[in-house]
């Protein structure tokens, strides 16, 4: 998708709002871009393909969390199976005595 550069001046009140909305490590331009894209997305339901760095980072976090949850569940199931097998083994040895 092609992109275009925009350049315009904003009143001090708007600049102050943009500055107050900055995320850690964002430049003023990046914050302005994020806010503008967010505004367009909320006011144009057809613009769902627009993404920002923040959106991508959040999606990655969600995917990683979901994957970790799956891995944890699998590990817990494996450990439970191993523990049950070990308990049965110990019970068998106990009965043999």
Give the pTM: 0.45
Over 27-86, what HEC string results? CHHHHHHHHHHHHHHHHCCCCCCCCCHHHHHHHHHHHHHHHHHHHHHHHHHHHHHHHHHH
The per-residue pLDDT for range 47-57, each reduced to its tens digit, is 555 555 556 67
Q: Domain coordinates of the chain in residue numbers?
A: 10-50, 52-97
Tell me the mean pLDDT in the region 55-76: 82
Per-residue confidence (pLDDT) for residue 50, from 0 to 100:
54
Half-sphere exposure of 31 (CA within 13 A, CB side): 15
The per-residue pLDDT for range 8-49, each reduced to its tens digit, is 899 999 999 999 999 999 999 999 999 998 888 888 766 555
């Amino acid at each position: 998708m092609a992109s275009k550069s925009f350049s315009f001046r904003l009143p001090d009140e708007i600049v102050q709002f943009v500055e107050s909305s900055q995320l850690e490590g964002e430049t003023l331009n990046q914050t302005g871009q994020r806010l503008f894209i967010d505004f367009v997305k909320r006011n144009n339901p057809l613009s769902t393909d627009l993404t920002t760095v923040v959106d991508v980072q959040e999606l990655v976090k969600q995917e990683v969390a979901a994957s970790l949850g799956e891995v944890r569940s699998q590990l817990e199931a494996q450990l439970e199976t191993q523990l049950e097998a070990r308990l049965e083994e110990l019970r068998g040895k106990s009965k043999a005595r």
